[in-house]
Amino acid sequence: MKNGRGRTSQQRQRRREFLIKTAGGALVTTALAAFPLRLRAAEPVNIGALYPVTGSMAQIGQGCVNAAKLAVQMVNDAGGIKSLGGAKLNLIVSDVQSDTTVTRTETDRLINGYKLAAIHGCFASALTLIASEVAERAKVPLITGSSSDQLNKDRHYTFTPFARASQFAQAQLQMSKLVSDKPKVAVIFENTAFGTSTSNGLREKAPAEGVEIVMFEPYSAGFADAGPLINKVKASGADALFSVSYLNDLILIVRTIKQVGLKIALNGGSGGFVIPDFYKSVGTLAEGLQGVAHWNHDCSAEAEKVNAVYKKQYGEFLFEYAGGLVAQTFMLADALERAASTDPEKVRDALAALDVSSGYAAMGPGGRVKFGPDGKNIYAHPVGVQWQNGDLASVFPKDDARAPLVKT
């Protein structure tokens, strides 16, 4: 009571803490609110691009971003969107860090911070599922090459111009019959969204294709050693192996098969198998290996043209997902032309009405894009590819084959 303020030190401590919290909160708020998050995009058309530039999928993500920038440049150099007075496309890239939470918040941030006409992303099915969910609720159209069949369920704003996981499965099964009459197939897949959706398709369609599946096992992605897994494959007596994996595991699988001296036909599916890095990592071991892809650079003259430009700039061929997203950019440009507006709702409707069979927008197996009511391209189908002389050649089905299948 004699003491001037009559407080205990503990109470002073608490008061200090309250003040600090308030002051800190106010500081942070002011700092953040000062961010210029709303772009006055009168002229340029904002397109969001969400890719994993860091994290486990970094090299593919970086390649995708490169292709996205190239595509936008191509559209702009050709005059931009003429129905909008030559408006240029403005690409807004965000790194989703190969992480689901970051994808969620970044999709939101892009949609709310910029006046987006459309979005494309995210390469990995697991990430795209989230982005598409957010886009659906925000009513912004999203176009993607990701293969998960779930992307077409209950969606009005998601468009998938390329083959679905179930179609990949069928193609893989058919290709195995090119090698042997009654193939006995071992299926190994990583326990991720990509692995499970593709492998489910394999299991469902195998009986109809006359293929016997003798082993069907998920494995933990990112293992240290493929030895135990390949040992199991060997014990199953399979003569063909379907592996649904990203790159790091594929490298180990391919090398271990060689080490073990296992004579087995490997179909590496899609994902990490169809990128230049795969060849760089396993070298001549890749020769003759077959896989499937939703896009390949030899599918049309336009594709080869883009490939040449990309190769000149980045030193490696334009891989599946990246090439696909160049086509997607042109599909968006086509939709914007017809919509003559940057209103996402109008763009969405224009995409739904898309029907192209020429030009860069139609690059891809089948050469035609038209969306059904569920957002799937009714003409989409995968191509079987084979590594030949350090590059990927389309070898299956007949109409899409650009090079003969090399028998190993």
Partner 1 sequence: MLATLAQAVVNGLLIGGIYALVSIGVTLIFGVVKIVNFAQGEFVMIGMYISFFLATRYGIDPLLSLAVSMPVLFLIGVALQHFLIRRVLGLSDMPQIFLTFALSLLLMNLALLLFTANYRTVQTPYSDSALYLGPLYIPVAKLIAFVLAMALSAALWVFLHATDMGKAMRAAAQKPEVAMLMGINTNRVFCVAVGVSLALAGAAGSLLMPFYPASPMAGQVFVLMAFVAVVLGTLGNVKGALVASLMMGVAESLGIQFVGADSGLIVVFLMLLLTLAFRPSGLAGGAAR
Partner 2 sequence: MMRGLRHTGVLWLLLLAAVMLALPLVVTSRFAVDIFIRVLLFAFIGVAWNLMGGYAKQLSLGHAAYFGLGAYTSTILQIRFGISPWIGMFAGGVVAMAASLPIGALCFRLRGPYFAIATIATAQVLMLLFLKFRDFAWGAEGTTIPNLGNAPLMMQFDAKAAYYYIALGLLALGLAITYRIERSWVGYYLVAIGEDEDAAEAIGVNALRIKRDIYLVSAFLTALAGTFYVQYIYFIDPATAFSFNISVEAALVSIVGGIGTLWGPVIGTVLLESTSALLQSWLGGSLGGVQLTVYSLILIVVILWRPTGLLGVFTEAYRRIVHARPAPASEAVIDG
Binding-site ranges for partner 1 (CB under 8 A): 54, 56, 58-59, 62, 188, 191, 217-220, 222-225, 227-229, 231-232, 235, 247-248, 251-252, 255-256, 258-261, 277, 280-283, 285
Sheet holding 89-95, edge to edge: 89-95, 45-51, 116-121, 142-143, 158-159
Query: Residue written as tokens 């020429």?
Result: 358
Nearer to partner 1, 79 or 227 (CB): 227
At its nearest, how many Å lie between partner 2 and the CB of residue 37?
A: 5
At its nearest, how many Å lie between partner 2 and the CB of residue 319?
A: 18
At its nearest, how many Å lie between partner 1 and the CB of residue 195?
A: 10
Report d(CA 196, CA 165) in Å as an integer.
Answer: 10
Query: Residue written as tokens 């795209």?
Result: 128
Nearer to partner 2, 58 or 405 (CB): 58
Report d(CA 182, CA 7) in Å as an integer.
Answer: 88
What are the backbone dihedrals phi and psi of residue 122, each rounded to the nearest 5 degrees, phi first? -115, 15
Task: Answer yes or no: are the C-beta atoms of 148 and 192 closer than 8 Å.
Answer: no
Query: Residue written as tokens 């040449």?
Result: 308
73 binds, among partner 1, partner 2, none (CB under 5 to 8 A by kind): none
How far from 61 is each of 145, 314, 394, CA to CA, in Å?
13, 14, 23
Residue type, 357: S
Give the residues across from 377 on adjacent strands: 371
At its nearest, how many Å lie between partner 1 and the CB of residue 255?
A: 6
Task: Answer yes or no: are the C-beta atoms of 49 and 65 closer than 8 Å.
Answer: yes
At its nearest, how many Å lie between partner 2 and the CB of residue 26?
A: 7
203 binds, among partner 1, partner 2, none (CB under 5 to 8 A by kind): none
Nearer to partner 1, 259 or 408 (CB): 259
The site for partner 2 (CB under 8 A) is made up of 1-7, 11, 13-22, 24-26, 28-29, 31-33, 35, 37, 53-54, 58, 61-62, 93-95, 100-102, 104-106, 108-109, 112-113, 126, 129-130, 133-134, 136-137, 148, 150, 154, 191-193, 195-197, 218, 220
At its nearest, how many Å lie between partner 1 and the CB of residue 250?
A: 10
Which tokens hold the place of 241? Answer: 């192996």
Nearer to partner 1, 37 or 235 (CB): 235
